[in-house]
Amino acid sequence: MGKSTGFMEIDRESLTYRPALERVNDWDEFLLPMDEQALEKQGARCMDCGIPFCHTGGAPTAPAAGCPVNNLIPEWNDLIFRHHWKEALARLHKTNNFPEFTGRVCPAPCEGACVLGINDDPVTIKTIECAIVDRGFDEGWIVPEPPESRTGKKVAIVGSGPSGLACAAQLNRAGHQVTVYERADRIGGLLMYGIPNMKLDKTRIVQRRLDIMEAEGISFVTNTEIGRDLPAEKLLNDSDAVVLCIGATNARDLKVEGRDLEGIYPAIDFLRSNTRSLLDSSHADGAYISAKNKDVIVIGGGDTGTDCVGTSMRHGCKSVTQFEIMARPPEQRAPHNPWPQWPVVYKLDYGQAEASERFGADPRTYLINTARFVGDANGQLKELETVNVEWVKTDSGPPFRPIPNSEKTWPADLVLLAMGFLGPENTVLDALNIERDARSNAKAEHGIFSTNVESVFAAGDARRGQSLVVWAINEGRGAARECDRYLMGSTDLP
């Protein structure tokens, strides 16, 4: 603990956003870096608690509380306060393979569990994490580190999202020959096509790490879907072990009248096509779903809904509205949401802040349900009808009911469904005869990660369901540890 009174003397300082009406004109990252002296002062606010809840992580099934990868947060906070940035980077990489990703896109449950946050603003953990790794790249401290020797074992990883990449990095470190298969045209999964460029720069940030992993000896194969482009039997025969990190990309749909009209898309299709076109041609090819000059309605909240709002703003939408069926969160923690759980409170995320700046109000409407879509004579969406709802306790059926005489019609040229995901897609799991759990995920116990098929493991959203990037990294690392144990009889992986 570098400064025992730091938390009493220094106020929290967070990263500054670029002005909203400036940043919507480009696809560059929207956060401005904090200077070194300010970061070191923020590190001094850390109290080095007797029980550092920030990195406890919580049980896999418990509410989000603390860092799932168990980052050694008090240690690297103290190190940067003492100007030991390279040592802080080493501490950070002990638990997290990709802090440049989590430092940008993780919602920071560590900050929600910060002890200082009980009665004051928590430590700016996420900002410090990102600054440490960014400096590591700037200073040339982060370089390829291939293993000194190889075991002769071959591991195939299916899926190149955060869980697959974390698993690959760890198994390669153990000396195994790792090949990562990705059905898309670029490696990265969620990191590449599920998160917009203004939150996570693909060339400067994602590809930079992929280049290092490739230099360390990991092989990447794109445009290859197991069960279609490559038979599952061949994958098993050519590998000593297989780890499934295919994500949970089966998007929840909205089965109401008019769903087949043109102009209604899953959010992931909107985001994926936008980023691919941006990377391929800076949108010159027109191969994306455009929100330009359209009345856009985003159905669903969460990070995906926010990303749809922010992307629509950058396209130049005519208007954007976001529907949430839940009630507006409270300004402060509710009694049923105690510390150290992640605080479910009202906030303006970057997309809503941009829409508010341009259109004059938060784009979100709460306690609202879409009743039907309405189209024109050509089958093109032109509006939708909604009804307000109230939540009720019920033994069966929906936990909400419509409020009489609350119907409303909204103009809509483009509707984006951001209502979450139901589980993994079936192609790979069916091809390998993987047993499922009650939620359709690959059945594998956390901490063990083995499936019903010999030598096949599962991790990430494919095993646990839709979750945070930081949980995906936790699972990828855990699956790598157990896969290594299976291959070698014991393991030194953390």
Please indicate, yes or no, whether residues 214 and 330 belong to a single structural domain of this protein. Answer: no
Q: Which of 161, 160, 56 is nearest to 109 (CA)?
A: 56
Q: Is residue 201 part of a domain?
A: yes
Q: Which of 417, 447, 479 is the last residue of a domain?
A: 417
Give pLDDT tens digits for 153-179. 999 999 999 999 999 999 999 999 999
Q: Reading across the β-sheet that carries 154-158, which strands appear in turn?
A: 219-221, 177-181, 154-158, 241-244, 456-458
For residue 428, the domain's CATH number is: 3.50.50.60
Residue listed under structure tokens 């990705």: 182
64 pLDDT above the threshold of 80 = no
Contact 44, 19 (CB under 8 A): no
Domain boundary among the residues 417, 452, 477 is at 417
Read off the amino acid at residue 109: P
- Radius of gyration in angstroms for the set of CA atoms belonging to the chain, rounded to a whole number: 23
Q: What is the pLDDT of residue 56?
A: 80
- Looking at the 3D structure of the chain, how many domains does it have? 3
Residues 273 and 227 in one domain: no
Query: Is the domain of 413 the same as that of 442?
Result: no
Mean local confidence (pLDDT), 284-295: 98
79 and 161 assigned to the same domain: no
Give Cβ neighbours of residue 237 (< 8 Å, ≥ 6 apart): none
Residues 244 and 268 in one domain: no
Question: Quick one: tokens of 24?
Answer: 């919507």
pLDDT at 38 over 70: yes
What are 325-346's pLDDT values in tens digits? 999 999 999 999 999 998 999 9
- Among residues of the chain, what percentage have pLDDT more than 70? 98
pLDDT digits (tens, 9 = 90+) for 66-90: 999 999 999 999 999 999 999 999 9
Q: Show the tokens assigned to 161.
A: 């999202």
Mean pLDDT in the chain?
A: 95
Query: Which pLDDT does position 3 carry in this prediction?
Result: 80
125 and 30, same structural domain? yes
User: Does residue 27 fall inside a structural domain?
Assistant: yes
Is 52 inside any structural domain?
yes
**Is residue 61 predicted with pLDDT exceeding 60?**
no
- pLDDT score of 62: 61
**Residues 379-414 pLDDT 10s:** 999 999 999 999 998 887 788 899 999 999 999 999
Question: How many other CB atoms are there within 10 angstroms of residue 25's CB atom?
Answer: 10
- Give the integer Cα–Cα distance in Å for 17 and 311: 16
The answer to whether residues 42 and 123 touch, using CB atoms and an 8 Å cutoff, is yes
| pLDDT, tens only, 102-153 | 999 999 999 999 999 999 999 999 999 999 999 999 999 999 999 999 999 9
Question: Is residue 178 within 8 Å of 219, Cβ to Cβ?
Answer: yes
User: For residue 192, is it left (φ>0), alpha (ψ between -120 and 50) or beta?
Assistant: alpha
472 and 455 co-located in one domain: yes
- Beta bridge partners, 323, equal 299, 365
The answer to the question of residue 145 being in a domain is no
For residues 185 and 133, state if they share a domain: no
Q: CA–CA separation, 170 vs 180, rounded Å?
A: 13
**CATH code assigned at 104:** 1.10.1060.10
> Is the residue at 127 inside a domain?
yes
Residue 254 located in a structural domain: no
Confidence at residue 396, expressed as pLDDT on a 0 to 100 scale: 78
Number of residues that this document lists for the chain: 494
Backbone angles phi, psi at 48, to 5 degrees: 50, 60
pTM of the model: 0.95
For residue 63, what pLDDT is reported? 64
Domain that holds residue 101: 6-138
Taking the C-alpha atoms of 276, 279, 284 and 289 in order, what is their torsion angle to the nearest 10 degrees?
30
Q: Return the bridge partners of 156, or none.
A: 179, 242
494 is a domain residue: no
Tell whether the model's pLDDT for residue 262 goes beyond 70. Answer: yes
Residue 258 lies in a domain: no
* Residues 273 and 393 occupy one common structural domain: yes
Q: Are residues 409 and 271 in the same domain?
A: yes
Q: Are residue 177 and residue 229 in the same domain, yes or no?
A: yes
| Last residue within a domain, chosen from 359, 383, 417 | 417
Look up tokens 């896969």; give the residue: 483
pLDDT band at 60 (very low <50, low <70, confident <90, very high): low
Shared domain for 387 and 426, answered yes or no, is: no
